[in-house]
Structure 1
C-alpha cells in the first residue's frame, strides 16, 4: 500500500478562489475568500500528513519478519534467500539447502536477514 497524496481538488479550490477573488469579488470579499480557501488547503494538507504518519510501515525491510521465502544459495550459516521477490543475504544457524523454504525471524546487522527453516506443513 502506498502513502496517499492529497487530491488535486483542494489545490483547484484554492486556485478557483484566487481567480474569483481577483476577477469578480469586491476587495473585502476577495480577501475573505482567499483566506478561507488557504485555511482549508492548509488543514487538508495537515490531515493527509497526520493520516500518512498514523499508518503502519508497509514497505521496506521492517516488514519482512514473518515472511516466507526460498533459499537460493545454501545457508551454512550464511547464504542467500529470495523473499517477496527480492534476493537477500541471510544467516541460518541451523543451515538450509537451496530450494528449502525459510521464515524470516528478524533483520540483523548490515541488512542480513536472520532466518530459520519453515516447518513442513502436513497434507
Structure 2
C-alpha cells in the first residue's frame, strides 16, 4: 500500500531523480513490513500444544472438589469440570487430566495434595 502512495506522490510532486529514490525506499519498507507480518503470523504455529480448546487441558493439573469414586467434580485452570477417575480420588487431592470426553474429563491422581 505504501508503495502505491509513494508511486503516486513521486509521479505528481517529486522531481525526477528523487522520485526513483522515493519509490525504491517505499518498496523496501513495504517488503520489510510484509516479511515482519509473515514472521509474526507463523510464530505461533511452532507450539506443540494447542493454545485453546479442550485439548489444552490434557496434562494439566487440577484439584478434586469432591471425591471421585468414580465420578465427581474437579477444578482445572479455574474452571469446574465433571470428571471421572479409574481410581478413587479424595476431595482436595491433586489430579492430572488424562483425556477429554465431551464435557467430562478423565483424570488420575498425581500423588500430591493441591489447594482448593
TM-score, structure 2 length as denominator? 0.67
Map 1:6-17 → 2, pairs under 5 A: none
Map 1:47-62 → 2, pairs under 5 A: 47-57=39-49, 59-60=51-52, 61-62=54-55
Residue 105 (structure 1) aligned to one of 98, 101, 115:
98
Structure (1 or 2) with the greater strand fraction? 2
| Contact kept in structure 1, 2:93 and 2:112, CA below 8 Å | no
Task: Please provide the CA RMSD for this pair.
Answer: 2.9
For structure 1, list consecutive stretches of 5 or more residues without a partner in the other structure: 1-13
Partners in 2 of 1:95 and 1:69 — Cα distance? 15
| Contact kept in structure 1, 2:65 and 2:73, CA below 8 Å | yes
- 2:87 matches 1:94: yes
Partners in 1 of 2:102 and 2:38 — Cα distance? 35
For structure 2, list consecutive stretches of 5 or more residues without a partner in the other structure: none
Residue 69 (structure 1) aligned to one of 16, 41, 62:
62
- Which structure has the bigger radius of gyration? 2
Partners in 2 of 1:120 and 1:36 — Cα distance? 57
- The number of residue pairs the alignment matches comes to 104
Deviation at 1:77, TM superposition (A): 2.2
Classify 1:33/1:115 alpha carbon distance in 2 versus 1 (closer, same or farther; 3 Å): same
- 2:76 matches 1:83: yes
TM-superposition CA deviations, 1:19-59 (whole Å, max 9, x none): 8x948783222221111111111111111122221123363
Deviation at 1:81, TM superposition (A): 0.4
